[in-house]
């Protein structure tokens, strides 16, 4: 971490921002991407473009999603409100069904004269139940222009070696090393479309939401990306035999995954990593276009994911958990004038903080009360802390799981007052969350403090 930024520079940073408006926004959201990147210290994964971006920007080591599922997470960070405040707690309910008048982040920029472009998945492609299953694509209030090539995989891109890893039990658990190249896949076509729009609008203020579908299942990418990961190089998760038993609500039914062989586990992780590298390559093309168009000095860039993902941790191969693996996300922020660029920060942040940060950096007026906090101070100095806790939640049918992460501890309750399970993990000694200390009398005072912190973050 770099030394403290001089206080004089911190004091004039907001003034410098005021003099530079308007500034463009490129907000990149990768779907289901955990911190499976070289810049986060993961060996073996190939992510050169995101790694280079992280080296010049600010990398957040401790960023957390508010809900480890696509639609609730996106509805939260695009409105600056927590999931229970938005009222979106599943993948089935579109944002506009419950919040028809809420002003989203791209909508606010559009109202303030920015040309707003949506490419790929930003909002969730929700199924609107009251309209009997009609799929709703993105939000017309937010975008001047929207495009997603997701249905347009070419016939060649649908061919190639692959299989369902569960014999069809889980239709999504499918991989394919596809024939053809990037342009035969939707993400490749979306990258090309985004570059075309950049060339068209780069001389006017723009706000771009760029959603990359991978590494979300099905795990399909051109074969060249699979070839980068020989099967004999894939390392599987090794967990201690004395780890604590899982609480009843901690993970959904693991029966299908418990039947995985090591060969299937290797195939799964290999396919996920191949899709990470494929997604990284698409972002690299966009970054090359920004180089060519000389946009770095006039554009804020965010690269992030909507939630974390398990690759065998706790025997789980999916999302929807409140463990560190499920709630922690990659989050990297570039601002051309922020003095903290080129640093990493341990400051606790939440995805709900992004909208208020963009509003302050662009000098706009907030359209409603935000539940997140601006990260301007952290962007100026990586040693600044803006909050002492990050909150995440998930529903399990009739009951919920609520979790709070402090700098050292994670505390989680399942059901009302933890009647379906309580978890407490010490990240200073147990970063993988193997040993639940919630029932250990030596940690009773810590549990009480963390419960108070949890209750502070959720109205129940």
Q: List the catalytic residues.
A: 70, 124
Q: Give kind and range of the element (H or E) at residue 190.
A: helix 186-201
| CA-based end-to-end distance of the chain | 39
Q: Give kind and range of the element (H or E) at residue 328.
A: strand 328-329
Question: Could you give the 3-state DSSP secondary structure of residue 31?
Answer: strand
Q: Could you tell me which of 326, 217, 211 has the C-alpha nearest to residue 271?
A: 217
207's CB contacts (< 8 A; 6+ apart) are 24, 25, 27, 105, 106, 109, 110, 114, 115, 116, 117
Q: Could you tell me which of 223, 324, 302, 232 has the C-alpha nearest to residue 269?
A: 232
Exposed/middle/buried for residue 135 (C-beta within 10 Å: 0-12, 13-18, 19+): exposed
Distance in angstroms (rounded) separating the CA atoms of residues 306 and 350: 11
DSSP 122-188: SS---EEGGGTTEEPPS-TTT-SEEE--TT---TGGG-EEEEETTTTSSTT-EEEEESS-GGGSHHH
DSSP 54-65: HHHSEEESSEE-
Residue 333 CA, chain-centre distance (Å), reads 13
Question: Could you give the 3-state DSSP secondary structure of residue 360?
Answer: helix
Is the peptide bond prior to 218 cis by the omega test (within 30 degrees of 0)?
A: yes
The Cβ of residue 19 has, within 10 Å, a number of other Cβ atoms equal to 7
Beta pairing partners, 403? 392, 412
Q: Give kind and range of the element (H or E) at residue 349.
A: strand 349-350
Q: Could you tell me which of 202, 429, 425, 452 has the C-alpha nearest to residue 325?
A: 425
Local structure of residue 364 (DSSP, 8 states): P
Q: Could you tell me which of 408, 410, 406 has the C-alpha nearest to residue 389?
A: 406
């Amino acid at each position: 971490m770099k030394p403290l930024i001089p206080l004089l520079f911190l004091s004039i940073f907001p003034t410098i921002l005021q003099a530079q408006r308007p500034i463009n926004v490129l907000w990149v959201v990768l779907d289901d991407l955990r911190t499976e990147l070289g810049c986060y210290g993961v060996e073996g994964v190939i992510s050169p473009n995101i790694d280079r971006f992280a080296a010049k920007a600010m990398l957040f080591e401790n960023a957390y999603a508010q809900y480890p599922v696509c639609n609730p997470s996106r509805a939260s960070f695009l409105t600056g409100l927590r999931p229970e405040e938005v009222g979106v707690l599943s993948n089935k309910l579109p944002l506009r069904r419950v919040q028809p008048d809420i002003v989203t982040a791209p909508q606010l920029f559009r109202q303030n004269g920015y040309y707003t472009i949506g490419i790929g998945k930003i909002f969730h492609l929700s199924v609107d139940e009251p309209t009997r299953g009609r799929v709703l694509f993105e939000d017309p209030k937010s975008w001047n222009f929207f495009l997603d090539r997701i249905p347009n995989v070419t016939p060649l891109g649908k061919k190639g070696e692959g299989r369902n890893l569960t014999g069809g039990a889980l239709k999504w658990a499918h991989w394919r090393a596809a024939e053809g190249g990037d342009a035969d896949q939707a993400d490749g076509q979306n990258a090309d479309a985004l570059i075309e729009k950049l060339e068209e609008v780069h001389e006017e203020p723009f706000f771009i939401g760029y959603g990359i579908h991978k590494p979300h299942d099905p795990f399909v990418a051109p074969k060249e990306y699979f070839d980068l990961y020989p099967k004999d190089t894939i390392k599987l998760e090794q967990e201690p035999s004395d780890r604590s038993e899982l609480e009843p609500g901690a993970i959904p039914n693991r029966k299908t995954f418990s039947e995985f062989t090591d060969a299937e586990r290797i195939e799964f992780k290999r396919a996920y990593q191949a899709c990470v590298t494929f997604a990284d390559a698409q972002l690299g093309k966009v970054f090359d276009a920004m180089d060519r168009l000389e946009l770095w000095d006039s554009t804020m860039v965010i690269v992030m994911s909507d939630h974390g993902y398990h690759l065998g941790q706790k025997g789980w191969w999916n999302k929807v958990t409140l463990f560190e693996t499920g709630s922690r996300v990659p989050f990297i922020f570039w601002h051309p004038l922020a003095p903290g660029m080129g640093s990493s920060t341990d400051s606790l942040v939440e995805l709900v903080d992004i909208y208020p940060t963009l509003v302050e950096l662009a000098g706009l007026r907030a359209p409603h009360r935000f539940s997140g906090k601006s990260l301007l101070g952290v962007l100026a100095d990586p040693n600044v802390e803006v909050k002492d806790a990050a909150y995440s939640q998930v529903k399990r049918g009739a009951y919920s799981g609520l979790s709070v992460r402090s700098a050292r501890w994670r505390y989680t309750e399942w059901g009302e007052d933890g009647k379906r399970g309580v978890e407490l993990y010490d990240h200073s000694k147990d970063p993988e969350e193997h040993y639940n200390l919630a029932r250990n009398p030596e940690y009773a005072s810590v549990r009480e403090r963390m419960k108070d912190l949890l209750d502070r973050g959720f109205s129940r």
